[in-house]
Amino acid sequence: MDIRLKSLSDPALAGFDTIIDTRSPLEYAEDHLPGAINLPALSDEERARVGTIYKQVSPFDARKIGGALVAANAARHIAGPLAAHDGAWRPLVYCWRGGQRSGSFATILGQIGWRVGRIEGGYKAWRAMVVERVTASLTTPVIVLDGNTGSAKTEILHRLAARGHQVIDLEGLANHRGSLFGGMPGGQPSQKGFEGRLALALERLDPTRPVVVEGESSRIGERNLPRGIWQAITTAPRIRLAVPVTERAAYTARSYADACADPVGVARIIDSLRPLHPSDRIEEWLRMVDAADWAGLSEGLMRDHYDPRYDKHRSRHDDGRTRVLPIADLRDLDAATSAVEAALAAQEAP
């Protein structure tokens, strides 16, 4: 049974117990449908070998060898990860474009007696919907939570979500805190993976309610913001948190404890800034690393590296609609969140 997905969160997906990506491990690692497991019909090496035979020998020989490999791999999957499933189990399979790999695997599963579905168009059809979603203009009104580095924007965003506000955490989707030291455990998803996560978040929005996003540059770590959300960010009204630099530095020293635990890595990143700053400033920052003066280092980086760049970026997009919200300290983030809530209410008022 072929399933034609009509949306990224098509209810048809909920009718299956397991989504199986039959593509090779490298294809799966780059991107896949949410929640899908990888049971490859062909390994990466086998896929390359069959492709070479297809081009250099003949399509028939490629299909014959490929068919034997798919059958052997399917037998291994059935005897291994699928062995515990009973007759009521319902799998949904796909490959790159719903062709021979998923078709062969689905046929074998169906002959066993499982009620198997196959995604029409495969991953290619899914990816087309993702691209359409992330490049389209947002119909949901957007409000940007802005503020210089260390203003606790992400934590406040999470508290807004917990209080029922509609938010998209772009840094969470990109698994990166958006700064030089913003790497997160597990690394970033691929660009396609990031776009898939974002597309699902956009599809779930209620277009009648505003969505709050954090002010970002066009890149979060190594991932680019797609056109739709980037255009929305650059044109949306803003609430800018104005927090004293000393308070931001103290907050950053607390929240970046994982980075501080790797002083060698911090020193390496600071050393990479030499083309942008005088050598005496770099040496001073490196001395702070040696002394574990994380608050002092944070303040120095904010004053001389981050803040000037924020101010330059902000000047290009400031249309006079920004509401500046003074926040004296960041020790009580619930109070800071309440202040942002009040500003949001004022922003949304007619």
Residue 260 catalytic? no
168 forms beta bridges with: 213
Cα separation, 112 vs 106, in Å, equals 10
Cα separation, 50 vs 61, in Å, equals 9
Cα separation, 226 vs 194, in Å, equals 10
Cα separation, 206 vs 226, in Å, equals 20
Record the tokens describing residue 17, joined without a space. Answer: 């117990």
Largest CA distance in the chain: 73
Nearest to 104 by CA among 84, 82, 75, 81: 75
Could you tell me what percentage of the chain is helix, strand and coil, using 3-state DSSP and rounding each to the nearest 5? 55, 10, 35
What ranges in 227-332 are assigned the alpha helix state H? 227-235, 245-255, 257-260, 263-271, 279-290, 294-301, 307-317
Catalytic residue among 8, 39, 82, 95: 95
Return the H-helix or E-strand segment holding 146. Answer: strand 142-147
Catalytic annotation, residues: 95
